Amino acid sequence: MNRSTPWLQSRPTAGNPRVRLFCLPHAGCGATAYHSWPAELPAFIQVCPVLLPGRETRLSESLYTQIEPLVDAMDRGLRPWLNLPYAIFGHSMGALLAFEWTRRLQRERHPMPDWIFLSGRRAPDTPDDTSLLYSLPDHDFIEQLTRRYNGIPQEFLENNSLMEVFLPILRADIAVVESYSFREGEPLDCPITVFAGANDKSVSWDQLFAWKRHTRRRFAMHVLPGGHFYPQHPMLQTISTTLSELHP
């Protein structure tokens, strides 16, 4: 699969997968964030990390700064791979991409995901009282991001060459999130499970629970120990259990 489309960097799964799990990244992130997941999930789940333009092996491609054209391009790239039952996971910016992609699929009457798992992101119709970061000077941009999310690796912060590559990617992704404007639509015809760290300063309990309004199916919420980048093992256990019950 990883040689068939630039959008997917997935290694072939042993045997025949019964479900694909498309994994959408947080701001500044590539597909490598999900490379450990196949070892932590059952073999019947084919983990499909989505690689957005402008990073890793797609570094020469233009970055997106608006969500609608990004979802358009992502949909065209991934639609051929919806020929198996599938689920979608997204963390932070990835949760927003997962939600808007699923809305598009529903509007256009395509097969819906079995489940969507959304992490570290407030519901899209809840007010955001945080200050905008995209246009800040580099030093202030990094300082505010670190204070809010604590997600920039220390080795990046200490390496000017890495930051020269990483900062434009991060800034473009933050623009995707901050320029987003929610439009009313029908609730999703698929279940939603949301996750967040108990100490995540970017999302409140009420903002997390508000995702319930966006599905007419089952809804679950899990608040886990940690911050915006909380330990993943309990979350992966929940995803594994959920998809194992759907695909015994």
The pLDDT value recorded for residue 11 is 57
Average pLDDT per run of 10 along the chain, which is 248 residues long? Answer: 70 74 94 91 93 95 97 95 96 98 96 97 91 90 88 83 92 96 96 96 94 98 95 96 93
Catalytic residue, candidates 10, 36, 60, 92: 92
Domains and CATH numbers, the chain: 19-126+182-246 (3.40.50.1820)
Q: Is 161 a catalytic residue?
A: no
The pLDDT value recorded for residue 168 is 94
The pLDDT value recorded for residue 2 is 42
What crossing angle do the helices spanning 138-149 and 160-178 adopt, rounded to 10°? 70
The pLDDT value recorded for residue 222 is 97
Q: Which residue, 118, 51, 46, is CA-closest to 85?
A: 46
The pLDDT value recorded for residue 152 is 81
- Supply the pTM of this predicted model: 0.95
